[in-house]
Amino acid sequence: MTRPPLILVAPSTQKRGIEFADHSLSLSNYYCRAVIAAGGLPVITPVTDNPRVIAASVARCDGVMLTGGDDLQPDLYDTKLPESLRKKVIGADPLRDLFEMELIDQSLRQGKPLLAICRGHQVLNVALGGSLITDIATEAPRSMEHRRQDASTDTVQEVNVNPHTIMHRIFGARRLRVNSAHHQAIGRIAAALHATARTDDGIIEAVELKPEDEAISPFLLGVQFHPERLFEKHVEFLKLFEAFVNASSANDAQR
């Protein structure tokens, strides 16, 4: 039987978990269900600041997936952010931020396929030198409502997909309906990335490496929406995970 590619899944954290109210890991099971449905084997990694452990974890996996959760600490992308915007930051965990920045670095160094979802899409941009919109409602008040947790498994907005991109190859469409559950977004895009999908109000919904930088990674895609919450009702979104898992399988075959 063919060995399923091993997908390292980076979890969120909780300040007070169920057991003894400890600082704990947290992860929606939707992520693992999506990886399994696409033919991968998900493995949840510990959140640590030990670079040796992070490097070894990436070395033993075939692909890396970043997940959603609370906001990043703003000093990672804007040390001069006004206090009025700092107050909009929700639940930042410096340990998780630094862990994921190192995880991205190791994924790129080791040439592992990388899928970054929601918060992960934002961390990816910051890790590569970009910035964030700290609060869409404050900084882009004419934008549509992007924080639709009430409809997390439904498609509530349309995005425009650029041709000749991973997103377009996956979905085969220039317009795509997605869900939306975020109050932050990519601001200044990192130099190595380009936006490959946007909503009509200009918010970046997907990023990929620029064509001239594609040699950095065999597969790199960041999406602002939550495909893991859609694929069971909207089967076309399973194709996104299949593309990622297939890239990870090819990576495994080369080892």
Q: Which of 124, 138, 130 is nearest to 184 (CA)?
A: 138
CA–CA gap between residue 251 and residue 55 (Å, rounded): 17
Q: How far apart are CA 211 and CA 194, in angstroms?
A: 9
CA 238 to chain centre: 16
**Reading across the β-sheet that carries 175-178, which strands appear in turn?**
41-44, 6-10, 63-66, 114-117, 220-223, 204-209, 193-199, 157-161, 175-178
Q: Is the dihedral of CA 41, 47, 48, 49 positive or negative?
A: positive
**115: left (phi > 0), else alpha (psi -120 to 50), else beta?**
beta
Asked if 121 is an active-site residue, the reply is: no
Spatial separation of the C-alpha atoms in residues 235 and 38, rounded to whole Å: 11
CA atoms in the 13 A half-sphere facing the CB of 165: 24
CB 159 within 8 A of CB 175: yes
Does 61 qualify as catalytic in the annotation? Answer: no
19 is catalytic: no
Q: Which of 118, 121, 182, 208 is catalytic?
A: 118
- Give me the catalytic one of 121, 146, 182, 226: 226
In 83-93, which positions are buried (b, 16+ CB within 10 angstroms) versus exposed (e)? eeeeebbeeeb
Residues with a catalytic annotation lie at 118, 226, 228
